[in-house]
Structure 1
Amino acid sequence: MTVRAIDARRAAVLGSPIAHSLSPVLHRAAYRELGLADWSYDRFEVGEESLTGFLDGLGPEWAGLSLTMPLKRAVIPLLDGVTETAASVEAVNTVVFAGDGRRTGDNTDIPGMVAALRERGIEQVDSAAILGAGATASSALAALARICTGEVVAYVRSAERAAEMRQWGERLGVEVRTADWADAAEALRAPLVIATTPAGTTDALAGAVPERPATLFDVLYDPWPTDLAARWSAYGGAVVGGLDLLVHQAVLQVEQMTGRAPAPLDVMRKAGEHALAAR
């Protein structure tokens, strides 16, 4: 059957820089598996200064957007509403357009983290450690609010970051204690360690991995494995990687934008693995 042009739907990922994004690979794989031949998914280099103009120029064929840095907070004033999840961390990574043009923002990183951990059998922990204090760390705290019954220790580099993490903890209902980054090796003995720092930051910690590590969630996916993840795995610890997070949050985006569920998790993961292997 020939699909009329008016029936074609569009989605895309926005951010700056954006060339490295795997989102098009994941979403396009989902569309193929779901038989959505009339759907397309692209990437656009968009910064904060050009976001308003980009959104205002979108037509009725647009179903949704994925957002990465630096747009996750900048987009909020431009939306008609945000979900409770997105509001909890003041960060939107998903925008869904309704038939009437309304723009609703959501955050699939948080449930994506929970789903990635659950896939590896991590349903609940009695304590955890977070390496870093950026935007991803606040999402990690929100995820831990759902699965951690005790204290979370955040290892940070400054008093300002420490104060921010404690504030996020109060807001999210998580008991947060902060510690200096110089003592980050202590974090590796926690039942769950979530590394949220940029590439290379945790390399120096690889030599401090304990003989029987528990679970590491490293949000990076390129390069992979990180030195920390490689040593962790070599010592027999469970490792959840950034691709796991990327795929699980993308699954939720596909379901919201297309209205089709479940999205093909395994197909999307294999497409992501193939794309990373080709880099």
Structure 2
Amino acid sequence: MREFGLIGQTLGHSFSQTYFNQKFHSLGIEDCRYELFELPSVDHFPALLTGRPGLAGLNVTIPYKEQVWPYLDAVAPSAARVGAVNVVEFAADGRRIGHNTDYIGFRESVSGFYTARGEGAGALVLGTGGASKAVEVALRELGIRYWLVSRNPLARGLTYDELTPAIVDAHPLIVNCTPLGTAPNVHECPPIPYQLLTPEHYLFDLIYNPSETLFMEKGRAAGAQTRNGFEMLCIQAEAAWAIWNG
């Protein structure tokens, strides 16, 4: 039995197990299964590896996309570029290799959703964690300039309080890379000035559970286009499956 799974701290919101097990069922793959592994801290990762000798591949989600790095033997160029890992390959030679397919998923999904509104139109990337790093790489590949936005006045980029009407107008694409709004905390959302949004804005939320977050709901109320992270999830999952199968 080949075993795959997802490591993270809180995984009740995750659709990965359902996605992969449905994939195995639809393809008639009987020797694979996918499990969820909630770890209270990344220090428990070695014990998981010892207790699950049949592991053939792992996905990684918050808050371990950066913390898992020291437990790997190597990182692929994708993870090195992003600075975060969301896929662990168990190579035939025994090495554990970190990859990043998040940026592939976001790049492909946002390309079918947003077309830059003229030269110079930019994006606001909400959050500065591992997910935002993948979004940064994708935006650079697409030639879309961006600002990072966070609560921390000492972080690189802007704070939410610095989002003026001029800045919001010049950045029609707004990407939520924070966990705010993820089930069960569906009444939370990033504190952007939603009253400044227009039908010219595009709100992309990496969250896919719920299917419409409060961030998206407020954007839709202002006439903005919205998209959740489900398509991104599917694209990155297929990229992970390709890595695990050589």
Work out which of the residue numbers 229, 234, 240 in structure 2 matches 1:253.
Answer: 240
CA distance in 2, matches of 1:99, 1:160: 43
Q: Report the residue type matching 1:115 in the other structure.
A: E
Work out which of the residue numbers 99, 103, 116 in structure 2 matches 1:110.
Answer: 103
Corresponding position: 1:82 with 2:75: yes
Residue equivalent to 2:142: 147
SS of 2:200's equivalent in the other structure is coil
CA distance in 1, matches of 2:190, 2:114: 25
Residue equivalent to 1:194: 175
Could you say which structure has the higher helix fraction?
Answer: 1
Contact 1:221 1:242 in 2 (8 A): yes
1:158-197 alignment, distance < 5 Å: 158-162=152-156, 178-184=157-163, 186=165, 188-189=168-169, 190-197=171-178
1:116-131 alignment, distance < 5 Å: 116-120=109-113, 122=115, 126=120, 127-131=122-126
Give the TM-score normalised by structure 1. Answer: 0.75
Please list every run of 5 or more consecutive structure 1 residues that lacks an aligned counterpart in the other structure.
1-7, 163-177, 260-279
Name the count of aligned residue pairs: 234
How well do the aligned residues superpose, as a CA RMSD in angstroms?
2.4
Contact 2:4 2:56 in 1 (8 A): yes
Deviation, structure 1 residue 213? 2.2
Corresponding position: 1:157 with 2:158: no
Q: Report the residue type matching 2:177 in the other structure.
A: T
Give the TM-score normalised by structure 2. Answer: 0.84
1:1-279 alignment, distance < 5 Å: 8-46=1-39, 47-59=41-53, 61-120=54-113, 122=115, 126=120, 127-149=122-144, 151-162=145-156, 178-184=157-163, 186=165, 188-189=168-169, 190-197=171-178, 198-199=180-181, 200-202=188-190, 205-210=193-198, 212-259=199-246
SS of 1:63's equivalent in the other structure is strand
Q: Mean Cα displacement is larger for which, 118-127 or 247-256?
A: 118-127
Q: Mean Cα displacement is larger for which, 40-49 or 242-251?
A: 242-251
Contact 2:14 2:209 in 1 (8 A): no
Q: 1:33 to 1:256 in 2, by over 3 A?
A: farther
SS of 2:155's equivalent in the other structure is helix
Please list every run of 5 or more consecutive structure 2 residues that lacks an aligned counterpart in the other structure.
182-187
